[in-house]
Every structure is written in C-alpha cells, then in structure tokens.
C-alpha cells in the first residue's frame, strides 16, 4: 500500500463476531499511524454473521447495501490546543507545552500604535529557572527579538519556541483590544429603547389634550407621579422642560434649603418626558465638558442639574451661551495628521436646550439668574404635613410604585403627541416698571405664553404660511401663563429671593405677635423656626446687609439683639402686579 501514491481510502470488512470487531479496531489504528492522510472505513455486518452466512440467507444485493453504508473506522481524535491565552483585565496567562508567560498590566485602548506590556516568562520543563521579566512594546520588532535571545539564553529554550509564543500573545492581545474598543463604541452609540405607544394609548392621550379641563387633568396626574403639593409649580416646571421639544426653549431655577425637596421635584417632572435620552441629568459639570460634546449632541435636549454649585465658572459661561444663543462656538487649534501643521479652526456645539436647576444659594450671579425663571420651594409647615402624609401612604402601600409609574407613562404619552409649531401671539403684556431685568423677563413671559399655546395645540386655531402650521394664541393662554409664572414674576420684582422671603415673612409674623419694637436674638429665632446656626446666620447677614434688620444692642459673649427696621408689604406688591397683568388681559377681552 505504501507504493500506491493516489490511495484515498482503505476499507475494512470483517466478520460480525467479537473477533471481527477487535480486528477492525486494531488494523484501523495501525493504518491511521502508517497512512495518516488516508481515510480508513469499515463496513457494517450483522452481529454474529460472516460473508458465507450472509450469502446463504440473503441475496447478493445485501453486500452492495452494506458497502454503501460504510463509515469511518475510528472516531477522529479531538485535538487539544497546544497553546492557550487567557486574557483578564490586569493579568493574562499564555501557556504551551514549553512555556508559561504572564502578561501584566492593562492594555492601552487609546494608542493603537503600541502594545506595551510587562512579560514574565517561565520554562515549564525546568521550574528551577528564575523567570525572565521585562516591560516591552510587542510592536517593536528589534526589542522583541533581543528579548527572545535573552530568554533563550537564561531559560535554555529554543528561540523558535519563544518567537512563536510572543507572536501568539501579540495576536491574541491585539484582537482582544480591537474587540473591546468595538464593544465600548457600540455601548456609547447605543440609545435607550423607547417605549412604543399603541394606537389606543395615542388616542387616549389625544383625547386628554382635546379636553377643556386639560390643565386640571394634567395637574392631577402630576400629583399621582409622586409630586406632593406644589401643584402650580409642578405644572410650571413641566412646561419649562417640555419646551426642549419646541423652537423656543425655557429655563427655570428652583431655590430651597437643603432637604426641602428641590431635587425630588425636578426629577419627578423630568421623568414625565417621553424621550429619555433627550433628558440629561448631571450632578456636576466640569469646566469644559459642554464644549466637548458632538455638534448636535445637545440639540433640543432637556438638562437637569441637581445642584447649581456643580457648575464651575467656565461651565457657567457655556451654560449661559447655550441658554441665550442656542450654540457654543470655540476657536481651537487643529493639527493636520498628515503634515503635522497646526492651524486655527472652529468647533461648534448646537442647542437649543431647556433646563431645570436646583440651588440652595440666596444670591446668584445676575447674568446667570436673569436668563431663568426663579421659583422657591414651599417650606411651610402645611407642605411638610402633606409630604409626611404621602410618605405614610407609601409605607402602608395605599400608594404603590406601580401607580406612580402608570401616571408617569400616561403623561409621557401626552408629551409624545405634542409637536413643535410656530405660534402667533397677537397680545402683548407689559410687566411693572419695578421688575428687575424687565426687557428679558417680558420676552420670557411671552415665550412661556407660547409654550402654553403649544400645550393646547389640539384646541387652538391654525393657519398655514409658507408650508408652516401656525397656532393662534387665545386669551385663555395669557391667563394661564400669568397664573403659573406669577410667583416667578414676584421674585424678579422682590428685593429678597424666594428662600429669604419665606423666612422674612415668618419672622415678621412672629415678631408682630410680640410687638413691632420687640428685640430678639438669633438663638431665639433658631429655636422657634428649628433651623441650624449656619442657616440662621446666613439669613441674618443678608437681612442686615439689605437693611431689613439692625443690631439694636450688644449682650454677653458677643450676643446681639436685633430689631426689624423695614416692614415691607409683600402682599400689597403681589396684588399690584397681579392686578396690573389681569387688567391688561381684561382690556383685550373688552375689545373682542
């Protein structure tokens, strides 16, 4: 058989008894060793039968059938890999029959032009040899070759074995690195899967949007999401963050002391937006992070910042520009990868954005505060009781997370059905002259009126112009807008901010019961209002600086007595502002 150069198959056909089976296995093994490239097959025979007995009891066709049913005489051996590379985060292990190599260190996923690792090479045949260690770039051919010779000398191993091992390590590591880069890129590009609305859900949402009591329904559903009290403020903030879908976006800042529920309020409102990946929530923003976004990454996004203190000075500048102009432009140095030449270029990040920000600060830099609506969280005892009552219902499972989630999804369905349109507002309102930043706030007022019109888009008249659909504002939109943003208008007019105004009104009420000339100390007020020493100090310092209080006496241990020197009338101011705005609306109504 060794002389048969074109031999392809050897067929074994023995008797069907045990001796025949044993002979088949024996010769099959021998033939595989002598002729590894030739297939060895066996013909099945009925148990206990041989050629003669088969011919006596069957026709000759049985031999043809058995011959065609032949199969490999031996099951092919499963080859065990001669080498393996197990890759882990900080240590990988390569092993073959001669070597064990530890690969230490984390792979650099940024510089694909290098593969720098630390290798510890062991000789498996002689464990007494000291392992060879070196930090090396596996892409540096000359250094790898020098390391091969060093290892061969110290470990008494062939250079071909070492080259093969290092080559397999290099291939394994670079393939693993490319896979990890691709996985990371896919994760970064992956967007949240949006919930698909059924036709029934869309129809139910549109029915609500067409309802005359839309605001009442929406306010009730916002309360069912877990917002306790603060009905008007919740509805106001809902419209602010909803504007991220529209042409003109809005911004709001919520002031309150620590633990007053600011973050809870803006979180719950933001949860009601349908497109989750368009709502970005930050605890902290580094100085240049806004500039490093992709060109359209922030376009029509809602940004929720849980603490204004998380904005650095340069980040505040970027924040203001995104709010005002809807774009960030930077002059940067660009390097030509081919020639290495450096020239100036422009990097642009486009908005617009809508935003909600929470803060505990009394005073905000005027240029930052002038661009946003400002409201103060309700920290009254009545609001506290509402919160505690709701917490008790949650603990008793009278209100469940499932009920809150259902309310959120129903509001998300409403948001989904709202589309951006142009708005024609034929009515103009003027704010009192005492209002701070009157020009900018007047524009913000009319932008908010536009947002109210968009919320009622299924109930408003429409006209077509230049292939655009335009909604017509009604007087009801003006009334609702003034009602919802009234507190913000008052805060823009008031000399005191929202947190300080609440404290000062409570202080006046307490002192009035004692007599307007009553002298008090910080300790007395801290204990009465149950506030911390640092918080009380901040309140007193602000009121002293604004000349609402004065130090009337000095007591023991540098303790001062205080008196109220300016008894302003905030309710009168509120009434004047409200009367002024509603009088303008009534004037428009009379003209209809």
pLDDT digits (tens, 9 = 90+) for 239-259: 999 999 999 999 999 988 888
Question: How does residue 481 score in pLDDT terms, banded at 50, 70 and 90?
Answer: very high
Same domain, 185 and 206: no
Point out the least confidently predicted range of 38-42, 398-402, 518-522.
38-42
Question: How does residue 541 score in pLDDT terms, banded at 50, 70 and 90?
Answer: very high
Q: How far is CA 456 from CA 234, 237, 379, 512, in A?
A: 17, 16, 32, 45
The residue with greater pLDDT, 322 or 340, is 322
Q: Which range of residues forms the domain containing residue 556?
A: 498-572
| Mean pLDDT to the nearest integer, 326-354 | 85
pLDDT given for residue 1 in this prediction: 67
Same domain, 173 and 215: no
| Domain end point (choices 143, 159, 189) | 189
SS3 236: helix
pLDDT given for residue 73 in this prediction: 78
CA angle 381-384-389, nearest 5°? 130
Beta strand residue intervals within 257-402, DSSP E: 279-282, 301-305, 327-335, 342-350, 353-359, 373-376
For the chain, how many residues are written?
A: 592
Judge whether residue 477 has pLDDT over 70.
Answer: yes
Judge whether residue 25 has pLDDT over 70.
Answer: yes
Judge whether residue 309 has pLDDT over 90.
Answer: no
| Domain end point (choices 41, 72, 103) | 72
CA angle 43-44-50, nearest 5°? 95
Q: What is the pLDDT of residues 203-214, one digit of tens each?
A: 999 999 999 999
| Mean pLDDT to the nearest integer, 491-502 | 86
Q: What is the pLDDT of residues 364-387, one digit of tens each?
A: 777 777 889 989 898 888 898 999
Strand 560-564 versus strand 549-554 pairing type = antiparallel
pLDDT given for residue 506 in this prediction: 92
Judge whether residue 79 has pLDDT over 50.
Answer: no
Question: How does residue 81 score in pLDDT terms, banded at 50, 70 and 90?
Answer: low
Same domain, 174 and 44: no
Q: How far is CA 55 from CA 49, 63, 216, in A?
A: 10, 9, 97
**Distance from C-alpha of 89 to C-alpha of 292, rounded to nearest angstrom:** 29
Q: How many domains does the chain have?
A: 4
- Residue 277, number of CB atoms within 10 A of its CB: 11
Point out the least confidently predicted range of 226-235, 364-373, 380-389, 577-586.
364-373
- Residue 303, number of CB atoms within 10 A of its CB: 25
Return the exposure string of 111-129: e unless at least 16 CB atoms fall within 10 Å of the residue's CB, then b: eeeebebebebbbeeeeee
Point out the least confidently predicted range of 7-21, 286-300, 392-406.
7-21
Same domain, 391 and 281: yes
| Mean pLDDT to the nearest integer, 43-68 | 75
Question: How does residue 547 score in pLDDT terms, banded at 50, 70 and 90?
Answer: very high
Same domain, 261 and 389: yes
The mean pLDDT of the chain is 88
Whether 3 maps to a domain, the answer reads: no
Strand (E) or helix (H) holding 423: strand 422-424
Strand 468-472 versus strand 422-424 pairing type = parallel
Judge whether residue 485 has pLDDT over 80.
Answer: yes
Judge whether residue 37 has pLDDT over 80.
Answer: no
pLDDT > 90: what percent of the chain?
Answer: 51
Same domain, 88 and 123: yes
Judge whether residue 69 has pLDDT over 60.
Answer: yes
Whether 422 maps to a domain, the answer reads: no
Q: What is the pLDDT of residues 100-146, one digit of tens each?
A: 999 998 888 888 899 999 999 999 888 788 999 999 999 999 999 99
Whether 77 maps to a domain, the answer reads: no
pTM of the model: 0.71
Q: Dihedral sign, CA of 494, 495, 499, 502? A: negative
Whether 21 maps to a domain, the answer reads: yes
Judge whether residue 343 has pLDDT over 80.
Answer: yes
Return the exposure string of 374-413: e unless at least 16 CB atoms fall within 10 Å of the residue's CB, then b: bbbbbbeeebeeebeebeeeeeeeebeeeebeebbbbbbb
Question: How does residue 80 score in pLDDT terms, banded at 50, 70 and 90?
Answer: very low
Same domain, 175 and 242: no
Whether 586 maps to a domain, the answer reads: no
For residue 200, what are the β-bridge partners? none
pLDDT given for residue 60 in this prediction: 74
Q: Dihedral sign, CA of 237, 240, 242, 244? A: negative
Q: What is the pLDDT of residues 137-155, one digit of tens each?
A: 999 999 999 999 999 999 8
Question: How does residue 415 score in pLDDT terms, banded at 50, 70 and 90?
Answer: very high
**Residue indicated by tokens 């933001």:** 270
Same domain, 177 and 98: yes
The residue with greater pLDDT, 253 or 74, is 253
| Mean pLDDT to the nearest integer, 443-460 | 95
Name the DSSP class of 292: G
Same domain, 46 and 108: no
Same domain, 88 and 135: yes
Q: What is the CATH number of the domain that holds 372?
A: 3.40.50.300
Q: Dihedral sign, CA of 110, 112, 114, 120? A: positive
Question: How does residue 313 score in pLDDT terms, banded at 50, 70 and 90?
Answer: confident
Judge whether residue 518 has pLDDT over 70.
Answer: yes
pLDDT > 70: what percent of the chain?
Answer: 97
SS3 464: strand
The answer to whether 229 and 378 are in contact (CB under 8 A) is: yes
Question: How does residue 5 score in pLDDT terms, banded at 50, 70 and 90?
Answer: low
In angstroms and rounded to an integer, the radius of gyration of the C-alpha atoms of the chain is: 40
Whether 454 maps to a domain, the answer reads: no
| Domain end point (choices 362, 391, 416) | 416
Judge whether residue 473 has pLDDT over 60.
Answer: yes
DSSP calls for 545-561: HTTSEEEEEE-GGG-EE
Angle between helices 522-529 and 498-514 (to 10 degrees): 110
Strand (E) or helix (H) holding 202: helix 199-210
The residue with greater pLDDT, 558 or 222, is 222
Same domain, 270 and 390: yes
Same domain, 215 and 163: no
Whether 157 maps to a domain, the answer reads: yes
Tell me phi and psi for residue 207, to 5 degrees.
Answer: -60, -40
Q: What is the CATH number of the domain that holds 535?
A: 1.10.10.10
Whether 280 maps to a domain, the answer reads: yes
The residue with greater pLDDT, 198 or 559, is 198
pLDDT given for residue 75 in this prediction: 63
């Amino acid at each position: 058989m060794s002389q048969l150069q074109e031999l392809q198959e050897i067929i074994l056909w023995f008797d069907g008894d045990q001796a025949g089976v044993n002979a088949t296995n024996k010769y099959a093994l021998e033939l595989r060793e002598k002729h590894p490239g030739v297939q060895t097959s066996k013909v099945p025979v009925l148990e206990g039968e041989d050629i003669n007995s088969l011919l006596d009891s069957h026709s000759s066709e049985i031999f043809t059938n058995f011959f065609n049913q032949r199969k490999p005489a031996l099951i092919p051996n499963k080859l065990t890999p001669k080498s393996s590379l197990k890759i882990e985060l900080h240590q990988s292990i390569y092993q073959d029959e001669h070597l064990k190599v530890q690969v230490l260190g984390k792979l650099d996923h940024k510089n694909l032009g290098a593969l720098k690792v630390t290798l510890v090479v062991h000789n498996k045949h002689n464990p007494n040899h000291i392992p060879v260690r070196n930090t090396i770039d596996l892409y540096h051919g000359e250094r790898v070759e020098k390391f091969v010779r060093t290892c061969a000398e110290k470990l008494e191993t062939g250079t071909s074995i070492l080259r093969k091992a290092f080559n397999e390590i290099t291939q394994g590591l670079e393939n693993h690195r490319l896979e990890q880069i691709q996985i990371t890129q896919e994760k970064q590009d992956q967007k949240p899967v949006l919930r698909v609305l059924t036709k029934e859900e869309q129809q139910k949402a549109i029915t609500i949007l067409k309802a005359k009591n839309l605001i009442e329904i929406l306010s009730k559903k916002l309360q069912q999401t877990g917002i306790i009290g603060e009905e008007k403020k919740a509805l106001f903030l809902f419209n602010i963050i909803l504007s991220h879908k529209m042409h003109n976006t809005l911004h709001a800042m919520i002031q309150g002391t620590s633990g007053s529920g600011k973050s809870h309020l803006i979180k719950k409102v933001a949860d009601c937006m349908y497109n989750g990946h368009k709502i970005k929530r930050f605890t902290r923003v580094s100085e240049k992070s806004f500039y490093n976004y992709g060109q359209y990454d922030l376009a029509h996004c809602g940004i929720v910042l849980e603490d204004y203190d998380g904005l650095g000075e340069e980040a505040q500048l970027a924040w203001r520009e995104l709010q005002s102009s809807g774009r960030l432009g930077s002059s940067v140095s660009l390097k030509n990868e081919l020639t290495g030449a450096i020239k100036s270029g422009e990097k642009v990040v486009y908005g617009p954005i809508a935003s909600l920000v929470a803060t505990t600060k009394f005073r905000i830099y005027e240029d930052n505060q002038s661009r946003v609506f400002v409201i103060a969280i309700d920290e009254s005892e009545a609001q506290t009781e509402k919160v505690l009552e709701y917490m008790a219902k949650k603990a008793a499972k009278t209100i469940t997370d499932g009920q809150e989630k259902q309310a959120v999804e129903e509001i998300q369905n409403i948001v989904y059905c709202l589309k951006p349109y142009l708005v024609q507002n034929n009515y103009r309102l003027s704010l009192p002259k005492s209002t701070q930043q009157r020009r900018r706030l007047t524009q913000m007022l009319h932008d908010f009126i536009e947002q109210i019109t968009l919320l009622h888009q299924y109930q408003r008249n429409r006209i077509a112009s230049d292939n655009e659909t335009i909604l017509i504002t009604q007087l009801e939109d003006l009334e609702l807008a003034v009602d919802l943003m009234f507190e913000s208008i008052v805060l823009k007019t008031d000399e005191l901010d929202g947190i300080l105004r609440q404290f000062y009104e409570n202080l006046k009420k307490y002192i009035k019961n004692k007599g307007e000339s009553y002298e008090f100390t910080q300790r007395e007020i801290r204990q009465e209002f149950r506030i911390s020493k640092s918080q009380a100090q901040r309140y007193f310092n602000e009121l002293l600086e604004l000349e609402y209080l004065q130090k009337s006496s000095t007591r023991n241990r540098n303790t001062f007595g205080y008196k109220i020197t300016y008894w302003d009338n905030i309710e009168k101011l509120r009434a004047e502002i409200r009367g002024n705005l509603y009088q303008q609306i009534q004037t428009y109504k009379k003209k209809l």
